[in-house]
Amino acid sequence: MKKLLISTVLLVGLSVSAYGQQRPPAPPHPSKAQLANSKASELDKRYRAEKKMILNHPVATKKMKNDQLKALNIRYQNENKLLRSAR
């Protein structure tokens, strides 16, 4: 009886530890729309951060800031077009 109890406990313990070592299921892959939306939000965040840095620059003159903002806007529009065409 004692041997049966020990072997049962041992068997249950090994099966529990083996079950615990299994890998968790892989997370679902984002859909194409979700991926595009996340890329668009990253692009918007980066655009706003760069714009804020340009506008708050302590040394740049007004003309320099305007030129940099024009270049930033053009780059943002091009990246936006590229992102929309990939959808």
Domain spans, the chain:
29-86
Close Cβ partners of 17 (under 8 Å, ≥ 6 residues apart): none
Predicted model pTM? 0.64
Helices (DSSP H) in 1-87: which residue ranges?
Answer: 2-20, 32-55, 62-86
Helices 62-86 and 32-55: crossing angle in degrees, nearest 10, is: 180
pLDDT tens string 5-51? 788 877 777 676 666 677 777 888 888 889 889 999 999 999 999 99
